[in-house]
Chain A
Amino acid sequence: GAVVSQHPSRVICKSGTSVKIECRSLDFQATTMFWYRQFPKQSLMLMATSNEGSKATYEQGVEKDKFLINHASLTLSTLTVTSAHPEDSSFYICSALSVAGGGTQYFGPGTRLLVL
């Protein structure tokens, strides 16, 4: 149980385009999901908290107009990187909070974004 999927696993796009990444909890409902970013050889940095049915909460320094988050259902959160630039190239990882799992976050496999 407690499986989280992400789609796509890899995406290459041109500078200036927008990219949408999906995060799904497959076998549990998650009112709260999180988006992290991981730079090469570095740790995960929390970008934002995605709350079902309400606005996302962004960490300091993360542009909310750049990284649009929508959590329309209890099993799906999406992250849209708008007007992507090469510096947005990174590994984006989502997690879903399982209340039944004692407040544990379960992580998706990540999405590798490369902006040319």
Chain B
Amino acid sequence: AQSVSQHNHHVILSEAASLELGCNYSYGGTVNLFWYVQYPGQHLQLLLKYFSGDPLVKGIKGFEAEFIKSKFSFNLRKPSVQWSDTAEYFCAVKEGGGADGLTFGKGTHLIIQP
């Protein structure tokens, strides 16, 4: 079975600071990796995904993530955060190639102070 670890449960940053949220997964086969964001009072939105190819993936709103297979990691980054990035961020994984449900990490609550 897969599992996903997000090491930072709460992160507080000032505007313009750089962001990196950690995500590690445990599964030895081919994986599809996702980052979702949940703004206050809203539903989950896809930030970015990795299926194959270039391990550096660019998503919406200036976010990017890098898949490092040897480290089983898929960390999310943004060079300069904004107040509007305050949200809950979830990393998720599924076995590659199938129509399977996602295994989610516990989430990271990000607060950006103006």
> A residues within 8 Å of B by Cβ?
31-32, 34, 36, 42-46, 49, 59, 93, 95, 97, 102-110
Contacts and interface: CB of A to CB of B under 8 A. Distances in A.
20 contacts: A31-B99, A32-B99, A42-B106, A43-B90, A43-B104, A43-B105, A44-B44, A49-B99, A49-B100, A93-B44, A102-B51, A103-B32, A103-B99, A104-B34, A104-B49, A106-B46, A107-B36, A107-B43, A108-B43, A110-B43
B43 A104 contact: no
Interface of B: 32, 34, 36, 42-46, 49, 51, 90, 99-107
Nearest to A32: B99
A107 B43 CA distance: 7
Contact of B90 (A34, A44, A102): A44
A36 B101 CA distance: 9
A106 B92 CA distance: 13
Nearest to B1: A60
A103 B51 contact: yes
B99 A109 contact: no
Contact of A104 (B46, B90, B101, B104): B46
B51 A107 contact: no
Contact of B101 (A43, A49, A103, A106): A49
Given A31-B99, A42-B107, A107-B44, 13 more contacts: A34-B101, A34-B102, A43-B107, A44-B90, A45-B104, A49-B100, A97-B99, A103-B99, A104-B34, A104-B49, A105-B102, A109-B42, A109-B43
